[in-house]
């Protein structure tokens, strides 16, 4: 599974905790995602113990080539900033997470997006304290737009994310082999 981490503090720890419980996850970081991990005291060296990690350090998002070799059965963006959600909804691919989302669509792979902004009011954890934020209508609109994409599921809580991933993995295990 290809899993993108964007620059969101909102449910960052919960998303990573879920990723840790899954086998064979590769992490794809946005540049902001890499900064945020450090702000929340999560070290890349520790993550590398479990995950293969791709950093956003090429203009062409070179690691997306892995999608052409059938390395992944699905893509998860969790947590997904309002910035990344907006770009995905508009078809813009200019970061590693937005590129793997686009490749999922072009390779007809399912994508699950844990959007930070799906409710008009959210309690979120900054590096130092809890704060209440009020996502704008434009943020909510992009999340709604993304939910209309085929093969894309948008979720708004860690519980819904876990449920969506569980259901997806169960479905994969039950799928009969493709006809030869």
Q: Which residues would be at the binding site for ligand FMN (CB under 6 A)?
A: 6-10, 30, 32-33, 36, 39, 81-84, 95, 116, 124, 126-127
Cβ partners under 8 Å of residue 116, min gap 6: 8, 10, 11, 79, 80, 81, 82, 85, 122, 124, 135
- Minimum Å gap between C-beta 179 and ligand FMN is 40
**How close are the terminal C-alpha atoms of the chain, in Å?**
24
Conformation bin of residue 132: beta by default, left when phi > 0, alpha when psi is -120 to 50? beta
Single out the residue of 60, 6, 77 nearest to residue 35, CA to CA.
6
Of 45 and 128, CB closest to ligand FMN: 128
Of 61 and 84, CB closest to ligand FMN: 84
- Minimum Å gap between C-beta 36 and ligand FMN is 6
Kind of pairing between the strands at 122-125 and 130-133: antiparallel
- Minimum Å gap between C-beta 72 and ligand FMN is 20
Single out the residue of 59, 50, 66, 39 nearest to residue 125, CA to CA.
39
Of 33 and 156, CB closest to ligand FMN: 33
Of 58 and 126, CB closest to ligand FMN: 126
Tokens of 135: 């996502």
Q: Alpha helix locations (H) across 9-157?
A: 12-20, 31-39, 44-47, 82-90, 96-106, 137-147
- Minimum Å gap between C-beta 176 and ligand FMN is 38
- Minimum Å gap between C-beta 126 and ligand FMN is 5
Which residue shows structure tokens 């900064």?
A: 35
Closest chain position to ligand FMN (CB): 7
Of 6 and 103, CB closest to ligand FMN: 6
């Amino acid at each position: 599974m290809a899993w993108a981490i964007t620059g969101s503090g909102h449910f960052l720890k919960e998303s990573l905790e879920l990723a840790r419980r899954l086998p064979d996850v590769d992490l794809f970081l946005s540049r902001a995602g890499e900064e945020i991990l450090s702000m929340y005291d999560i070290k890349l060296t520790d993550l590398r113990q479990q995950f293969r990690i791709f950093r956003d350090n090429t203009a062409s998002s070179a690691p997306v080539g892995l999608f052409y070799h059938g390395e992944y059965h699905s893509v998860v963006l969790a947590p997904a900033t309002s910035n990344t959600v907006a770009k995905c909804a508009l078809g813009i691919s200019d970061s590693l997470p937005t590129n793997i989302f686009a490749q999922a669509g072009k390779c007809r792979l399912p994508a699950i997006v844990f959007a930070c902004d799906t409710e008009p009011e959210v309690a979120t954890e900054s590096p130092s304290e809890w704060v209440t934020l009020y996502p704008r209508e434009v943020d909510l609109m992009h999340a709604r737009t993304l939910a209309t994409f085929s093969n894309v599921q948008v979720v708004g809580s860690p519980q819904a994310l876990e449920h969506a991933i569980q259901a997806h993995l169960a479905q994969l295990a039950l799928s009969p082999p493709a006809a030869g």
